[in-house]
Amino acid sequence: MKCLLIREKVLSPNHKDIGASLSNIGTCYEQLDQLKMALEYYKRALIVYEQCPYAFGEQWRMEENIERLSEILNNQHIE
């Protein structure tokens, strides 16, 4: 989180490293089984990656993570 805050102060809002920080935080929340928080950070990372011309692979990975977690969360609400 501290790394993200520093990067947000010194880098442009669509910098790939900001997306990477958001993605890493999402991964940490996912490992802690806090899927809603992970999903929110993955969504924020996707927004950054969509604005970054050289982040196609990362954008694709975030889209997969968002889809996967959305499915899991939707299935939890059904059960």
pTM, rounded to two decimals: 0.90
CATH among 1.10.287, 3.40.1130, 3.40.50, 1.20.58 for 14-78: 1.20.58
Contact, 58 vs 75, CB < 8 A? no
Residues in the chain: 79
What count of other Cβ atoms lies within 10 Å of the Cβ of residue 62?
A: 25
Contact, 26 vs 38, CB < 8 A? yes
pLDDT digits (tens, 9 = 90+) for 40-63: 999 999 999 999 878 889 999 999
pLDDT digits (tens, 9 = 90+) for 1-36: 899 999 999 999 999 999 999 999 999 999 999 999
Determine the Cα–Cα distance for residues 47 and 66; give it in Å rounded to an integer: 12
Q: The tokens 């924020």 sit on which residue?
A: 44
What residues contact residue 67 under an 8 Å CB cut-off, 6+ apart? none
pLDDT digits (tens, 9 = 90+) for 27-40: 999 999 999 999 99
Q: Supply the pLDDT for residue 53.
A: 79
